[in-house]
Structure 1
Amino acid sequence: MAKKEMGVVKGLFLFRYSGRWYEIAAFSSFFEARNAVDTRATYTLKEDGTLDVLNEGWVNGKREYIRGTAYKADPSSNEAKLKVKFYVPSFFAIFPAIGDYWVLYIDADYQHAVVGQPSRKYLWIISRKSHIDDKIYNQLVQKAVDEGYDVSKLHKTPQSDAHPPL
């Protein structure tokens, strides 16, 4: 049986989405350090309507990061289907890595979000704060279930109370 099309946020305001987000939970992926803590993403809106992306995490006290650019997959659509282009080191790949970044859910105050992509291989639960209460977390996990994700692969990201510097 084919999986249903994912519901995607309509009318995402990138200026409100900009800023710092903390990774609360995610699926493991080959492009993120498996034992990273204090993982966060910072999005900065540019004049051309794209977002500068800075993804950071700390492994054994050392900062690891990657930079990129996010942009609407279809500029004429009001769906929150973005493409993210990461600039990987030249020894790693010849071309930038480009992936889908779909905002599947965001609360009205832009404080919590669920982000995935069409194959359902990647999933992130993110928040403006590094810690969220279990009730909100469970609601966000349920949003992922509703979109056909196997949340048994979801792991919580350790976030310390004293965050690394900007």
Structure 2
Amino acid sequence: MRRVLIAMLVGGFCMSAFADEKPPLETVPKVDIARYVGLWYEIARLPNWFQEGCLESRAEYTALEKGKIKVVNSCRKKDGKEASVEGIAWIEDPVSNARLTVSFVPSWLRWTGIGKGDYWIIDLSPEYQWVVVSEPERRHLWILARKPALESAVFDAITKKLRERGFDLATLIHRK
């Protein structure tokens, strides 16, 4: 009996250790960068330190040469002032164009590797009207759209799919 109890305890500990393990995050199979670039409005995001106090966030992407993309993120701060930051993204997976790295540090610092982040396109409407961006650990998440609002049925379908893919959306911040 004692052996059975010990086996159950060990089994329970092992199962709980892997209970939070999620399958690897997959990206969309293909992104047409020419259709992707342009202005996107943030519909929702998971909290992050670099957007603290930002409202009505926007991202504008401009294609550059050699698979690079200019990124300008802007928002309105709580005091009503506009804030923006400019960075560069580069394609890491030229087969799909769905895995990028983005950096907002000055160009002379980029060689150090600091300030880089994964930018993975994990869901995208066929018409390029909305997109979901994250990174492999699922710590960051953005739902973006071409217009400042997204139909509630579309938003609900996106968030349902995200939950199924292992995202915790309890702290999701909606556009204000």
Q: What interval of TM-score do these two structures reach, taking the shorter chain for normalisation?
A: 0.7 to 0.9
Residue 86 of structure 1 corresponds to which residue in structure 2? Answer: 104
Asked whether 1:146 is paired with 2:164, we answer yes
Asked whether 1:8 is paired with 2:27, we answer yes
3-state DSSP class of the match of 1:130? Answer: coil
2:47 to 28, 32, 36: 28
Residue 62 of structure 1 corresponds to which residue in structure 2? Answer: 81
3-state DSSP class of the match of 1:152? Answer: coil
From the CA coordinates, give the structure whose radius of gyration is larger: 2
Matched to 2:46, the amino acid is: F
Q: Could you list the per-position Cα deviations for residues 139-158 of structure 1 after superposition, in whole angstroms to 9, with x for gaps in the alignment?
A: 11122212211011211021
Give the TM-score normalised by structure 1.
Answer: 0.85
Report the Cα offset of residue 38 of structure 1.
Answer: 1.5
Report the Cα offset of residue 5 of structure 1.
Answer: 1.0
Instruction: Work out the CA distance in 1 between the residues paired with 2:114 and 2:73.
Output: 15
Matched to 2:45, the amino acid is: A
3-state DSSP class of the match of 2:40? Answer: strand
Percent sequence identity is 32
Report the Cα offset of residue 116 of structure 1.
Answer: 0.6
Tell me which stretches of 4 or more aligned residues in structure 1 moved more than 4 Å.
Answer: none
2:131 to 94, 113, 116: 113
Matches within 5 A, 1:39-58: 39-58=57-76
User: What are structure 2's unaligned runs of at least 5 residues?
Assistant: 1-17
> Aligned residue pairs: how many?
152
Report the Cα offset of residue 61 of structure 1.
Answer: 1.1
| Structure with more of its chain in helix, by fraction | 2
Work out whether residues 86 and 96 of structure 1, in 8 Å CA contact, stay in contact via their aligned partners in 2: no
Instruction: Work out the CA distance in 2 between the residues paired with 1:66 and 1:143.
Output: 30
Give the TM-score normalised by structure 2.
Answer: 0.80
2:36 to 6, 9, 17: 17
- Higher normalized contact order (CA 8 Å, seq sep 6+, divided by chain length): 1
Q: CA RMSD in A?
A: 1.8
Asked whether 1:103 is paired with 2:121, we answer yes
Instruction: Work out the CA distance in 1 between the residues paired with 2:173 and 2:150.
Output: 15
